[in-house]
Structure formats: C-alpha cells, structure tokens
Chains A and B, each alone.
Chain A
Amino acid sequence: GAGVSQSPSNKVTEKGKDVELRCDPISGHTALYWYRQRLGQGLEFLIYFQGNSAPDKSGLPSDRFSAERTGESVSTLTIQRTQQEDSAVYLCASSLVGVGLFSYEQYFGPGTRLTVT
C-alpha cells in the first residue's frame, strides 16, 4: 500500500515569507507526528496528533509554527515569517495506535527540505 507522502519535496523561500508543508499519512493510521531535522542533527519533535484528542504541541519552537490535521487524514504544518534558522528537513510520520493508546512503530515520509534564503 501507499506510504506516508509529503509535499513539496523541496521548498526554497525568502526570509519573512510563510510556508505550508503537507503530509498524507498511511490510511488507517490515527497517530501523526511532525519532526524537524537540521543538517547533521537528530530528530526534533514538533507536534503529535492522535485521533480526536487535543494535539501535543509541546515541541513547537515558537508561535510562528502551527499545524492542523483534518480528522485522521491530511496534516499541514505552517511556518509564518520564516527565518533562516527554520531551514531543515521536516519529517512527517504516522502510526497505528492500539487499545491503551500505545503506539506501534512510526512510518516516515521522505521529508520536505526547506531552505530559507
């Protein structure tokens, strides 16, 4: 079946502009995550959606970052007034969540490489 898809694959934007990144999770996966990965660094958790629960936004670095999810489907990550330090690969992942809300393994998309000039 289809995996997690993300668009665009690459985005170059000028400092100060807003950008919107899209993630299509695997069908049936109720949990969705966004991460940021700066060059040569690890995964930085941004936000977590699980079903109809309130999202865990504890990883969002500033109020310029926001994310939405439509039901258990598509999610968009929006970065307003982009800064050069926002340059990174933004990864989306989805997973099944079972009884008791424990998460199975995450399936990652290919990422969106964001470059802010």
Chain B
Amino acid sequence: AQSVTQLGSHVSVSEGALVLLRCNYSSSVPPYLFWYVQYPNQGLQLLLKYTTGATLVKGINGFEAEFKKSETSFHLTKPSAHMSDAAEYFCAVSNTNAGKSTFGDGTTLTVKP
C-alpha cells in the first residue's frame, strides 16, 4: 500500500520569498516520487520526479525537491517565489508493485505582491 500526505492545503508567500511545500509518503517498497503543477484553468503537468540516483532533483521553473528516505519526505522548494508560481501543486508516489500512482490532496500556493 502507498499513500501521500501534503501538509497544508493552502500556502501563502510573498513574492521573492522561499517556497516550501511539504510532502510525506508511505510505501512498502522504494518509491518513485513526483510533483505535478496545475495552473489556473489548465491541465496538470509534471514539475519534477525522483526515480533513482541523486536525491536532489531539479524541475522546471526553478523548483527542486529532495528525497529523504529517513524522513519519508519529498518536499518541494523554490528560493524565490514569482507571481506566476501561483497554482495548485500535487505530490504523487508510485512503486514497482502497485503499478499506479497515488496523489496527495494538493496544496494551493498563493503569491502576494
């Protein structure tokens, strides 16, 4: 079984501030982890993913995430928020046994001018 918990359904930051969106997962086998973004009135698109290898992964638009096995976490960060980062962000996990991904409930990011 696998599950994803995103802490904080809404996060608000000021433009230029650090963005931190939290994701914790549970998985009975080594996971594959993903962050997806959904901009207003648009479809979901992949932001970044971790499968194997380097635990710090970089994605589009300056976002990155670090896989921490000991903490079962895959938090998403960006050093400096832009107004265009306002969107909903979903964390997801899949593994070799399940064959399908499980999504978190999503975090809505608001960026204040």
**If the complex has contacts A108-B44, A109-B43, are A101 and B96 also in contact, measured as CB distance less than 8 A?**
yes
A67-112 CB contacts (< 8 Å) to partner B: 91, 93, 97, 100-103, 105-111
CB atoms of B100 and A31 under 8 A apart: yes
| A-B contact number at CB 8 A | 59
Interface membership of chain A positions 23-67, coded 1 if the CB is closer than 8 angstroms to chain B and 0 otherwise = 000000001010100000111010010100000100000000000
**If the complex has contacts A105-B46, A109-B43, are A43 and B103 also in contact, measured as CB distance less than 8 A?**
yes
CB atoms of B106 and A103 under 8 A apart: no
**If the complex has contacts A42-B105, A102-B32, are A97 and B99 also in contact, measured as CB distance less than 8 A?**
yes
Q: How far is the CA of A43 from the CA of B103 in the complex (A)?
A: 7
Q: List residues of A whose CB falls within 8 A of some B CB.
A: 31, 33, 35, 41-43, 45, 48, 50, 56, 91, 93, 97, 100-103, 105-111
**If the complex has contacts A105-B46, A109-B43, A110-B43, are A50 and B100 also in contact, measured as CB distance less than 8 A?**
yes
CB atoms of A102 and B95 under 8 A apart: yes
| B111 CB → nearest A CB, Å | 18
Q: How far is the CA of A111 from the CA of B23 in the complex (A)?
A: 25
Residue on B nearest A107 in the bound complex, by CB: B46
Q: How far is the CA of A56 from the CA of B100 in the complex (A)?
A: 9
Q: How far is the CA of A35 from the CA of B36 in the complex (A)?
A: 14
Collect the chain A residues with CB atoms within 8 Å of residue B72's CB: none
Collect the chain A residues with CB atoms within 8 Å of residue B90's CB: 42-43
Collect the chain B residues with CB atoms within 8 Å of residue A43's CB: 44, 90, 103, 106
